[in-house]
Amino acid sequence: NYDIYGVTVSEVEVDVLTGAFQIVRVDLMEDCGQSMSPEVDIGQAEGAFMMGLGYFTSEEITFDPDTGSMLNHRTWTYKPPGAKDIPQDFRVYFKKNAPNPFGILKSKATGEPPLCMSASVAFAIREAVMAARKEAGKTDEDWVDMDLPFTVERIWLNGLACREMYTI
């Protein structure tokens, strides 16, 4: 039984007129104990982060309200992250000289924590949307309900885009 510590900082760019976003940079640091294979552990951390990214930004399961059958069971309607969703600058660091006296060969888990740390992207998107709302003059509210996942449609709906914003 042991604790794992980690921190993640994510930088995103959000287009509130379309709802599209890009992940510009992610810095992820994790306490993985004494790594048995740093290359494998980096791959595990990156993969888990991307899996969490799907949970927070694109993978939404919808059901038919009458039959209960799943409506998005194909790749055309269910959107896991793709190659273009990988952060443009993705940096993974492991804490050095932190052997785990309770783990196998002094190691710790490396895949599960980054899945949770990918929430930093959702927080960054939310902050960008709130900044856009403030810039548009909508400052009378401190909180806006935005359900996960933060799909392009949900970002667009919460970004306060209106017809006047689309004119050149």
Residues classed as catalytic = 112
Q: How far apart are CA 154 and CA 126, in angstroms?
A: 11
**Largest interatomic CA distance in the chain:** 62
How many other CB atoms are found less than 10 A from the CB of residue 167?
A: 5
Whether 69 contacts 61, CB under 8 Å: no
Radius of gyration of the chain (CA): 19
| Two tokens, residue 153 | 């449609």
